[in-house]
Amino acid sequence: MASVNGNGTSDAIKKDVEYMPIEDVERLERYRPGGYHPITIGELLHGRYRIVHKLGFGAYSTIWMARDQKSEKYVAIKITIADSDLANSQERNVLHRLGNAELKAKSHPASAIIPSILDDFTISGPNGVHQCLVTPVGMMSLAEAKDASSSRLFRLPVARAFSAQLVMAVAYLHSQGVVHADLHPGNILILLPKSMDSLSPEQFYEKHGRPHHEPIICLGQQSLPDGVPAHAVVPIWLGKASEDVSLSEAQIVVTDFGESFTPATTARYHSHTPDMLVPPETYFEPKKSLSFPADIWTLACTLWELIGQRPLFEGFNASADWVIKEHVDTLGTLPLPWWQKWESRSKWFNEDGTRHGATSSRSWEQRFNQSVQEPRQEFNMQPMGDAERTAFLTMLRDMLAFVPEKRPAAGLIMEYEWMQQWALPELNRMKQNMS
């Protein structure tokens, strides 16, 4: 399962306790009052969940794989830092809201793409009281699958099935009044195949290996403080390279609702998506609250990345001006009021929107060929045919309208030719392969 994202640091981290660094595990300094809960492999939580392995961690939680003794299935348990009222509470509230909505809309085809809260309980420990959310297990995120690959490409049928599910999920969220607000490949998980549930923990270890423990050593003193585990557990890797994901394995869930909000009751003026996915209205209409169209922009960027090798807009530690430059290079000149407001436009562009000097822009067509067609041919993978390419780019151009109100609603995206002729039929084939 993908690690929960979070770059925040706790103000309460104790500065006078230091530990021998251990790679690929959570910040050990966060095992303190108000911080992480110490967990040991084999421990039984809530009288039914036997801890089998670690799945990941973030600034506000650790995530564990457990065997549900009651259902005899594997589950993920997200254990928050003590008394947390931060992003995890927002996520819990949103998922409960969607869970209740799901009872009213069981027939909605996208309800399965939103993670179900299978159970919700608290545990008390040496560091405080911790909220625990039980959900299905994710095998890996789409970003992790690409990172594990030399080609960084999904096979086209798999990418289409992913895309269909993602559009359906956003349409469902929006129909329930919720903006996800942090859509990107790192927050989309491929579910663990149901066949895994037939494995006992011992059989699971035989297939995937036993947990790797590293002793925790406290520098400058002999004994560990209370509330610190004796060993750190390195998270398991259950995934595979993107090109090895089969159509029958292409079932996803959208995760990480810590940034989600309801525009009807909450004003949101800042986007916390990765820099290159921030919608342009954030820069040019800072006093106007974001709403559903912001998700449509990031959805389009994410669909591009599922089909292609590289992101649509690119930059390292990019400034806001660089992001806007990428938008103009790719999509053309900004609306006139925005264009006139953008003071840095003269760094790259003439007043008519053309590049000045010897520099040239990478056009929409160039980016598609460089990210989709050429890499697919290089790795002997199926490129898009002309008809599909036209339909796909037509849909994305509409979704990437600069003016938010001109972007199609998520429900309308379902009706686009590419969805109807390529993405949804592939999703149906995926479901047939799974049955």
Residue numbers in the known binding site for ATP are: 78
Q: How far apart are CA 61 and CA 37, in angstroms?
A: 9
Q: How far apart are CA 66 and CA 61, in angstroms?
A: 16
SS3 77: strand
Partner residues linked to 252 by β-bridges: 190
Report which DSSP code applies to 381: -
130: amino acid identity, one letter: H
Write out the binding residues.
78
Please give the structure tokens belonging to residue 2.
């993908």
Q: For strands 128-135 and 73-80, give the pairing.
A: antiparallel
Residue 85: CB atoms within 10 Å: 9
The angle at the Cα of 60, spanning 74 to 268, to the nearest 5 degrees, equals 110
Dihedral sign, CA of 21, 23, 28, 29? positive
Report which DSSP code applies to 285: -
Q: How far apart are CA 74 and CA 64, in angstroms?
A: 10
Q: Do residues 28 and 22 touch, judged by C-beta distance below 8 A?
A: yes
Dihedral sign, CA of 19, 22, 23, 29? negative
Q: Do residues 147 and 185 touch, judged by C-beta distance below 8 A?
A: no
CA nearest 40: which of 211, 164, 271? 211
52: amino acid identity, one letter: V
Dihedral sign, CA of 392, 316, 333, 405? positive
Partner residues linked to 131 by β-bridges: 122
End-to-end CA distance of the chain: 24
Q: How far apart are CA 55 and CA 74, in angstroms?
A: 12
Partner residues linked to 64 by β-bridges: 54, 77
